[in-house]
Amino acid sequence: MRYRLLLFLQMINLISSGVVPPRKRFPDAIIVGVKKSGTRALLEFLRINPLIKAPGPEVHFFDKNFNKGLEWYREQMPETRIGEVTIEKSPAYFHSKMAPERIKSLNPNIKIIIVVRDPVTRAISDYTQSSSKRKRVGLMPSFETMAVGDCANWLRANCTTKTRGVNAGWGAIRIGVYHKHMKRWLDHFPSQNIHIVDGEKLISNPADEISATEKFLGLSPVAKPENFGVDPIKKFPCLKNDDGKLHCLGKTKGRHHPDVEPSVMRALKEFYGPENKKFYQMVNHWFDW
């Protein structure tokens, strides 16, 4: 008891003197998705601001590790001081049926960040990542086969549930029907607590997208155009160090996408057209998809 009292008095002295030691806190904001839309780039670029802190690997607490408990979740966070902002990123939360409710139960006022991009491009990027991971166990069927063909023999998922000729049941396609997932987030959080990042503009004009996100987090923006450069090979944005050298995100980012047959691209555009309009109306923002 005496030891606890001494610790308490020590903490009071530190607070009164303006010196509060850093500690691990639950996040102030979570980047919940969307997978393959630029969530990693967003977080890395936000770290230009010294007040933004984040854990290293994706935590996946609210979808895969919820049974480990809140104290386990807190331990995954970095130590922060008062005035600093902790951000977690797990892009699979966006299409999780349980994540919105679980996050709200932790903190109904938490800030939610969602990165979206053209769902056709997103699906191709998703396929490109999956196919690169499966080279060790055999090549995947072509994107065309997965998107509009018969992929049931390869996937356990019911990917042959077709809508307008497209395998709407395939995960790479299903995730891009944004309005169906977005509804769950709006059912649990007010729109002012949700910030939408344009994944296409994050590539073409990262400084503006990062500044807008900093403001959403309640921080004074520090991101400027001179903080960014472009990978000469991948044409993907990179951070620019003080010496002018580029710090890019690694070989897994900005992968070359396969050329997709025009007929399949048209089918996907037709499929996503009405779905995109529902999303635009839901978030009150029009994207050029």
From residue 244, alpha-carbon distances to 45, 79, 89, 226, 239 in Å are 16, 30, 28, 9, 9
Helices 99-106 and 178-188 meet at what angle, rounded to 10? 20
- DSSP assignment of 165-209: TEETTSHHHHTT-HHHHHHHHHHHS-GGGEEEEEHHHHHH-HHHH
Q: Which of 36, 53, 89, 111 is catalytic?
A: 36
Residue 211 is labelled as binding a ligand: no
Angle (CA) 248 251 254, round 5°: 75
Q: Quick one: which H or E segment has residue 10?
A: helix 2-16
Residue 36 annotated among the catalytic residues of the structure = yes
Residue 254 is labelled as binding a ligand: yes
Residue 23, beta-bridge partner list: 80
Residue 122 is labelled as binding a ligand: no
Residue 247 is labelled as binding a ligand: no
From residue 167, alpha-carbon distances to 141, 152, 163, 263 in Å are 14, 10, 7, 14
- DSSP assignment of 87-116: EEE-GGGGG-SSHHHHHHHH-TT-EEEEEE
Residue 56 is labelled as binding a ligand: no
| Conformation bin of residue 253: beta by default, left when phi > 0, alpha when psi is -120 to 50 | beta
CA distance 77 to 79: 7
Residue 255 is labelled as binding a ligand: yes
Residue 2 is labelled as binding a ligand: no
Residue 253 is labelled as binding a ligand: yes
Of the candidates 95, 87, 76, 77, the residue with the CA atom closest to the CA atom of residue 36: 95
Residue 30, beta-bridge partner list: 88, 112
Residue 36 is labelled as binding a ligand: yes
Phi and psi torsions of 61, nearest 5° = -70, -45
Catalytic residues: 36
User: From the annotation, which residues make up the binding site?
Assistant: 36-40, 117, 125, 253-257
Task: Tell me the binding residues for 3'-phosphoadenylyl sulfate.
Answer: 36-40, 117, 125, 253-257
